[in-house]
Amino acid sequence: MENQFSNYDNYIESVIEQVDSISSKKLNVFEQKYLKNIIKNYATTMRKYAEKENFFCETSILELIRLSSKWTYHKCMDLMHSTIPQNYWDDMLIKMNITIYEFYKLGKVYEYSDKRINKLIEDEVNLCYSDCVNDLHDRKRIDENTFATAIMQSNIDDFLNIKETIGEKIQKYFKKAFSILIILCGAYCCLITTKFNIQEMYFITSILAIGCYMLFVNEIITKSYYLYTIFGCLILLMLNNQFQPFPEQINFINTAVIIFCTGNILGFSIGNKKTELY
């Protein structure tokens, strides 16, 4: 993503600048410093885990950083106003950031919309905060007054909604269009009856692999099962067109392969929807 946030560190620094501007009227100098440091620490940790797992694309890692920063800010503000002793804050914030990471990943696996992922994370983070406060109360680490004050906190001030510029939107659409074009070019080569030599078939296979990878990286298709099915379907079509000894059966077998793969994708999609967690 070539934009003003050319790397994650720059993005995190831009977040810290926003925190500084919106919290200056609410907090003293020492509280501001603590808040910025804690947000930076968790955002950096979130980035490192996301990169290490190698599941998320760059756009998703930036979104994870944003979500971590946003909810660390909100809940840290809640904790500052709650009178809960500071030595309990880190454990609570760690649990909330783990919740963000796990449910964001869950949303991506199930291909939820961005709006649904954000709502899911909001609900789960608030539930995690409440559970932590209740746990402290049950273990008699906080008294009734502190419990009542903490459980009522809700610092919802949706910041860090960084808007894409027109140039960034155009670049994103161009990448998606180019990804689709690559896979369509590969699909066309698989379907035509022109005979290819081995080197040409290797090249077409490489084009298909690159196209599927670009579909995943640009978040057009995020489920690996769909990509494997599409890739396998196109390879079978190419092999059928190249090596079928009975030309009159080419169209029949091509149709059967397409129907079979389409059925696999639809069946997998329907099966997932029936087993989703709500």
pLDDT of 270 reads: 79
Check: CB of residue 118 under 8 Å from CB of residue 81.
no
Model pLDDT for residues 97-138, shown as the tens digit of each residue: 999 999 999 988 887 878 889 889 999 999 999 999 999 999
pLDDT of 52 reads: 87
Q: Is it the case that residue 57 has pLDDT exceeding 80?
A: yes
pLDDT of 231 reads: 93
Q: Between the CA of residue 143 and those of 75, 79, 87, 122, 131, what are the distances in Å?
A: 20, 15, 15, 27, 16
pLDDT of 124 reads: 92
Q: How many residues does the chain have?
A: 278
Hey, how many other C-beta atoms are within 10 angstroms of the C-beta on 123?
Answer: 11
pLDDT of 38 reads: 92
Across residues 21-36, what is the average pLDDT?
77
Please give the model's pTM, rounded to 2 decimal places. Answer: 0.61
Q: Is it the case that residue 223 has pLDDT exceeding 80?
A: no
Model pLDDT for residues 231-278, shown as the tens digit of each residue: 999 999 999 988 888 888 888 898 999 999 999 888 887 776 554 443
pLDDT of 80 reads: 87
* ∠ CA 196-197-200, rounded to 5°: 75
Identify the three-state secondary structure at position 155. coil
